[in-house]
C-alpha cells in the first residue's frame, strides 16, 4: 500500500441499527475494492470485521473495527460500528473519529431505534451522511416505505440518487438518477458487475418522479444554475448534459462495477444527505490498519 497524503485519506463511519447489514456491506466493499481476496459472511463467521470469538459465535458486532481500502487514488478507512444499543459507545466513538457517515437502513426493518440514535450522533457531530438501503433482496423489502420513514423520522432533506429495480427475490438492479441509466446485475455476480441500459418502460414514471424531486432539491441549494429543464424549473449547471459531470465524479461506480451494491445480501438503492458532500464508502480488514491516527482519534473519543 502506497503512502497517502492527508487530503487523500477519508474516515467513514458505517452506522445503523443492529442486524441492518453494516458488516456485510463493509465486507462486500472490501472484496470489490480488492483489499480482501474473499467474500466473507456474518452467518458463516467469516466476515472481515467480525473476527473475535464472541462476534463469530453471536453473529453480530461487539467492537468497533476499522478497515482499509484503496479506491480512485484515495485511501478509505471504513469504521464498522456495532448496532445494538448495548454497545452504542463504540458507535459514538466511531462517529467522532469520522469525516462522514454511511447510515445503513434495512429494507425490511426500516428506521429503528438504533437508526435514530446513530443519526443523532451524526447530527451532533455535523458530518455529511449517505443512506444505504440494505437487504433489498429479502422478502418484504420495501424501498418506498423506508424512504418515507427517513423523511418523516430523520430528515426531510434527503434525496434519492439510486432506486431499485425489483424488490425482494425479484431485486436485480438499480437505476442511477444522475446517469439516467439502468444497471442490471449479471446473474451469479459477487463483485457487482452489471449491464448498463436504458430505464425500463415500467419504471419510467417512478424515475421521472424521483428525478424531479432530485432536481428541485439541488436547485434549492445550488446558486450556480444557468439553465432550465424545459418545465420552468432551474437546473444546476452540473446536472445538465445528462448528468455526465456527476457520474464521472462519483466514487461509487467505476469500470462497470457498482461499489455499494457489491453483494445481493447487502444490496439496495441509495439516498444521500449532507451539506459537505456524500461519504465515500469502502473498506478492508481491521488488522490491515496502518494509520495510527484513526485509532488515536477513536481512543480519544471514547475517553
Render pLDDT for 47-87 as a digit per residue (tens, 0 to 9): 989 889 999 899 999 999 987 788 889 989 899 999 999 99
Distance CA(11)–CA(291), nearest Å, equals 11
Query: What SS3 state is found at 121?
Result: helix
Q: Are 159 and 214 in contact (CB under 8 A)?
A: yes
Distance CA(55)–CA(101), nearest Å, equals 23
At 10, which CATH number?
3.40.50.300
Element (H, E) at 67: strand 65-71
pLDDT at residue 275 tops 60? no
Asked if residue 73 is part of any domain, the answer here is yes
pLDDT at residue 287 tops 70? no
pLDDT computed for residue 302 by the predictor:
52
Q: Are 222 and 216 in contact (CB under 8 A)?
A: no
Asked if residue 160 is part of any domain, the answer here is yes
Distance CA(200)–CA(168), nearest Å, equals 18
Asked if residue 303 is part of any domain, the answer here is no
Asked if residue 47 is part of any domain, the answer here is yes
Residue predicted with more confidence, 300 or 286: 300
Closest by CA position to 100, among listed 251, 253, 254: 251
Asked if residue 92 is part of any domain, the answer here is yes
In angstroms, what CA-CA distances link 198 with 41, 179, 202? 33, 10, 11
Question: What range defines the domain where residue 10 resides?
Answer: 6-196+255-286
Closest by CA position to 181, among listed 158, 207, 160: 207
Instruction: Count CB atoms within 10 A of the CB of residue 72.
Output: 15
How many independent structural domains does the chain possess?
1
Q: Are 157 and 167 in contact (CB under 8 A)?
A: no
Q: Are 49 and 23 in contact (CB under 8 A)?
A: yes
Residue 147: band (very low, low, confident or very high) from pLDDT cuts 50, 70, 90: very high
Distance CA(276)–CA(99), nearest Å, equals 10
Closest by CA position to 48, among listed 71, 20, 69, 67: 67
- Helices 292-302 and 88-96, axial angle in degrees (round to 10): 130
Asked if residue 214 is part of any domain, the answer here is no
pLDDT at residue 129 tops 70? yes
**Mean local confidence (pLDDT), 197-217:** 93
pLDDT at residue 27 tops 80? yes
Distance CA(181)–CA(176), nearest Å, equals 6
Q: Is the pTM of this model over 0.85?
A: no
pLDDT computed for residue 292 by the predictor:
39
Closest by CA position to 102, among listed 259, 214, 213: 259
Asked if residue 242 is part of any domain, the answer here is no
pLDDT at residue 172 tops 80? yes
Query: What SS3 state is found at 9?
Result: strand
Asked if residue 225 is part of any domain, the answer here is no
Query: What SS3 state is found at 18?
Result: coil
pLDDT digits (tens, 9 = 90+) for 221-243: 765 544 544 444 444 443 333 33
* 272's grid cell: 444521500
* 284's grid cell: 478492508
Amino acid at each position: 500500500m502506497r503512502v497517502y497524503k492527508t487530503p487523500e485519506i477519508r474516515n467513514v463511519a458505517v452506522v445503523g441499527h443492529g442486524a441492518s447489514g453494516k458488516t456485510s456491506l463493509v465486507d462486500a466493499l472490501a472484496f470489490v475494492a480488492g483489499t480482501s481476496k474473499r467474500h466473507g459472511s456474518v452467518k458463516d463467521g467469516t466476515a472481515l470485521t467480525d473476527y473475535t470469538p464472541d462476534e463469530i459465535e453471536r453473529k453480530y458486532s461487539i467492537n468497533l473495527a476499522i478497515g482499509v481500502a484503496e479506491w480512485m487514488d484515495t485511501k478509505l478507512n471504513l469504521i464498522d460500528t456495532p448496532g445494538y444499543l448495548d454497545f452504542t459507545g463504540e458507535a459514538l466513538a466511531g462517529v467522532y473519529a469520522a469525516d462522514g457517515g454511511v447510515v445503513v437502513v434495512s429494507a425490511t426493518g426500516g428506521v429503528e431505534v438504533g437508526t435514530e440514535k446513530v443519526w443523532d450522533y451524526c447530527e451532533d457531530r455535523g458530518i455529511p451522511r449517505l443512506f444505504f438501503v440494505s437487504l433489498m433482496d429479502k422478502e418484504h423489502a420495501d424501498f418506498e416505505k423506508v424512504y418515507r420513514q427517513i423523511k418523516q423520522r430523520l430528515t426531510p432533506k434527503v434525496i434519492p440518487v439510486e432506486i431499485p429495480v425489483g424488490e425482494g427475490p425479484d431485486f436485480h438492479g438499480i437505476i442511477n438518477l444522475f446517469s439516467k441509466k439502468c444497471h442490471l446485475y449479471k446473474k451469479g455476480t459477487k463483485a457487482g458487475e452489471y449491464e448498463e441500459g436504458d430505464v425500463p418502460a415500467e419504471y419510467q414514471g417512478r424515475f421521472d418522479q424521483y428525478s424531479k424531486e432530485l432536481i428541485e432539491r439541488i436547485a434549492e441549494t445550488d446558486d450556480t444554475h444557468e439553465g432550465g429543464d424545459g418545465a420552468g424549473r432551474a437546473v444546476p449547471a452540473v446536472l445538465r448534459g445528462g448528468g455526465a459531470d456527476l457520474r464521472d465524479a462519483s466514487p461509487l461506480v467505476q469500470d462497470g462495477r457498482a461499489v455499494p451494491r457489491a453483494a445481493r445480501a447487502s444490496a439496495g438503492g441509495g439516498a444521500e444527505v449532507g451539506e459537505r458532500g456524500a461519504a465515500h464508502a469502502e473498506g478492508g480488514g481491521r488488522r490491515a490498519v496502518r494509520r495510527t491516527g484513526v485509532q488515536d482519534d477513536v481512543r480519544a473519543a471514547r475517553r
